[in-house]
Structure 1
């Protein structure tokens, strides 16, 4: 296979060298490289303790995708299988939790030798890749070793480079070795067929993230337990997973909104929690004449409250009246279904092309794209006057129920 030869002789070595150079300047990359060096040994040790387990291996890119496969992992347990997970980004560790997976670690380096060593050590019965993190040697080695390997929650965006003439042949060489592809919609299924070819099973079953966010919202977790007295002092606009441009626009608008709603506060959860993010938000708040404090460092409710923690945003939305979701002025809006599961309408920047559910929510007038602060002021005033709790929750509920459809397809037989 020419694609396999070219990838292993040229593309992968070049990627590896580039990653090691970039890691000199990125702590997150360094952590990932260190973790990948030991994954086969960790998998082997796990297998020695669980020799007879029927392992299902999930693979995902980062925290958001990992959240989406948790309900699948739970259902695997109910069917007698042992769910394990590999992930690409260190951020996934923030979403793991104590009991979701029997084994969790970084994915191996995508060389033939290291992927094969990892699969031989872990011995999964099935491999389920979530969304788009499809690594060539992971697919090829699974196929060569007769391990069923599926792409689930498949997301194939229009205009993807995978469909470009030069890239299509390479990506077909990967996707045609999959056991099947389960996509989030029929539109994405059609794009998958164009890439994978007519011999690969492709079906539209939906996105398991809806099951996860709905279940998590129903759990009614209190991630800011102990700060309840502060939160009860105001109603809150939640700025979720914000970047710098989101924060400037949100706080500029909020400075105007609060004049008509003096009992309203703005709770901001930055996309990359850090001391620099806190300083950035504090400076922006001061610029617009707003008081500001971190939730763990105040006893009274300021105008702007910062939650500088990872892994709890999906639960923080429970405190909100309205959500502003970040990313819409950057690479693309972040999860809009997390706030909607709590009954919040969503406002965001204009870049929603990466999110099918954002576009569908906009069509149903549950999500509103803005480009300027005055638009946010106007739309927020309408939504604060007329909340959309039932409609937002219903949007998520109608798209849940995906887990059984996926597992009935990829795991047809219960474990003993």
Structure 2
């Protein structure tokens, strides 16, 4: 979309002439919203997630509350957001949950196939590391170098060859990049994914997953591995309220927070207990199952408005 200016909003809507407009979470473009409202285009916000500390709920947040009141219907992820919106007179609102659950579940049911990946491993259980940052690898590399019971698939947040090359140099086990797999028959211990777009389907190979970013700019998507019914480990969060799924996963017994190399290794060793592991697997399944259906609820309500 073009930058959020009044002129761009008018031109965009003149060209597209939408019958309805949808915004997601907290990504609200004021000029587009107000121009659409002026044209009586139905406006919907879904997967809305707000916190009391945000400007919408401050005495000086009048302009931003006006944005929220422009919507014909707001669909929230949780009860807290619903209560906050109702508290400032915003409505109609409905709690429908997080549409990401529907998305990750659909991916888990029909993941992309990568037969070449299974061929480079020797049958040991696999840990999939998604969206790894330097802070994450500082915990993970010591574990890789000490253990011999696991294979690892590592998808870095930054796929720059220098970043991957440094991590490969720090690992004492045999590593290879995905781009180098063609024609290779030897077994390896660690596979680095040096492209974009594979990660959401890679969790099909995992017995466990680690998702990065929590100790840096923000936790990446832990719902993707949970949809494959595998326990997920992540770093200690700087702000829990921004990533409610982390706390929810811990309550369900399928998410585990760590803050150093020792706690990372301990969780992996603890999950070698089959009873504990199965409990975490069951928790992952229940968490996703309990949150499915958001998209269907939203579409049903939108259809009523558009009739």
Do both share a fold (TM > 0.5)? yes
Match of 2:174 in 1: 291
Match of 1:219 among 92, 110, 121: 110
C-alpha contact (below 8 Å) 1:254/1:377 kept by paired residues: no
RMSD of aligned alpha carbons: 2.0
Structure 1 residues 297 and 128, CA gap change in structure 2 (3 angstroms) = same
C-alpha contact (below 8 Å) 2:131/2:157 kept by paired residues: yes
C-alpha contact (below 8 Å) 2:177/2:192 kept by paired residues: yes
The separation in 2 between residues aligned to 1:161 and 1:311, in whole angstroms, is 35
User: Are 2:138 and 1:248 equivalent residues in the alignment?
Assistant: yes
Match of 1:133 among 17, 22, 27: 27
Structure 1 residues 137 and 280, CA gap change in structure 2 (3 angstroms) = farther
Q: CA deviation at 1:208?
A: 1.1
Q: Which structure would you say has the larger RCO, counting Cα contacts within 8 Å and 6 or more residues apart?
A: 2
User: Are 2:269 and 1:381 equivalent residues in the alignment?
Assistant: yes
User: Are 2:97 and 1:206 equivalent residues in the alignment?
Assistant: yes
Structure 1 unaligned blocks of 5 or more: 1-106
Structure 1 residues 199 and 330, CA gap change in structure 2 (3 angstroms) = closer
C-alpha contact (below 8 Å) 1:233/1:301 kept by paired residues: no
Match of 2:43 in 1: 149
C-alpha contact (below 8 Å) 1:244/1:280 kept by paired residues: no
User: Are 2:84 and 1:191 equivalent residues in the alignment?
Assistant: yes
Q: CA deviation at 1:280?
A: 3.6
The separation in 1 between residues aligned to 2:139 and 2:248, in whole angstroms, is 24
C-alpha contact (below 8 Å) 1:323/1:347 kept by paired residues: yes
User: Are 2:63 and 1:177 equivalent residues in the alignment?
Assistant: no
Match of 1:391 in 2: 283
The separation in 1 between residues aligned to 2:190 and 2:273, in whole angstroms, is 21
Structure 1 residues 161 and 198, CA gap change in structure 2 (3 angstroms) = closer
C-alpha contact (below 8 Å) 1:186/1:203 kept by paired residues: no
Match of 1:370 among 253, 258, 261: 258
Structure 2 unaligned blocks of 5 or more: none
Match of 1:333 among 216, 219, 233: 219
Q: CA deviation at 1:232?
A: 5.3
* Count of residue pairs brought into register by the alignment: 298
Matched residue of 1:403: which SS? helix
Q: Deviations over 1:249-274 (max 9, x none)?
A: 11223333x2xxx3411211012323
Matched residue of 1:411: which SS? helix
**Superposition TM-score, scaled by structure 1 size:** 0.67
User: Are 2:234 and 1:348 equivalent residues in the alignment?
Assistant: yes
The separation in 2 between residues aligned to 1:362 and 1:120, in whole angstroms, is 47
**Superposition TM-score, scaled by structure 2 size:** 0.90
Q: CA deviation at 1:220?
A: 3.4
C-alpha contact (below 8 Å) 1:339/1:345 kept by paired residues: yes
